[in-house]
């Protein structure tokens, strides 16, 4: 009985940590969507209509275009050593997770997972660390 209660408590803590992590991600994404919406509105106002111009000034009906957007750097998650976190590579909950030392936004349960995730994370992390304009969420 004691073992079942302990397992239930651990599962509850893992679930709570996952929900907290997802809540922080939702706040980050909501803030980013807000910035994008404001950027679209300002572009529409600058053009006087709802067509986004391409780099050469023509109507962009078939090509692609680039929007210079400010970067958002969320504040690093606060944690205690007893709090389990979700590994950003294997999605396993672990109390042994550690965060990216440079940006503090990614969590890993092992160095192996950190190396495997680095292909995706390094360009993002480099962008976070090089940014001079930041907006705190």
pLDDT tens per residue, range 107-116:
999 999 999 9
Token representation of residue 2: 């004691």
Q: Confidence class of residue 98 from pLDDT cuts 50, 70 and 90? A: very high
Q: What is the mean pLDDT of residues 118-123?
A: 88
Scan for tokens 């009985």, then name that residue.
1
Average pLDDT taken over every residue of the chain: 74
Judge whether residue 9 has pLDDT over 50.
yes
Half-sphere exposure of 133 (CA within 13 A, CB side): 4
Rounded Cα–Cα distance for residues 92 and 81 (Å): 16
- Length of the chain in residues, anyone? 137
Q: What 8-state DSSP symbol labels residue 46?
A: H
Model pTM?
0.40
Task: Classify residue 109 by burial, with Cβ atoms within 10 Å: 0-12, 13-18, 19+.
Answer: buried
Extract the tokens encoding 39.
């950027």
């Amino acid at each position: 009985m004691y073992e079942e209660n302990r397992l239930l408590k651990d599962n509850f803590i893992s679930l709570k940590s996952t929900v907290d992590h997802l809540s922080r991600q939702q706040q980050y994404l909501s803030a980013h969507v807000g910035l994008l919406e404001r950027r679209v509105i300002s572009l529409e106002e600058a053009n006087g209509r709802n067509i986004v111009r391409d780099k050469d000034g023509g109507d962009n009906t078939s090509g692609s275009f680039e929007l210079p957007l400010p970067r958002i750097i969320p504040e690093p998650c606060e944690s205690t050593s007893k709090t389990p976190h979700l590994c950003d590579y294997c999605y396993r909950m672990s109390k042994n997770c550690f965060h990216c030392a440079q940006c503090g936004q990614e969590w890993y349960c092992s160095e192996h997972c950190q190396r495997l995730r680095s292909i995706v994370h390094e360009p993002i992390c480099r962008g976070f660390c090089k940014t001079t304009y930041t907006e705190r969420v």
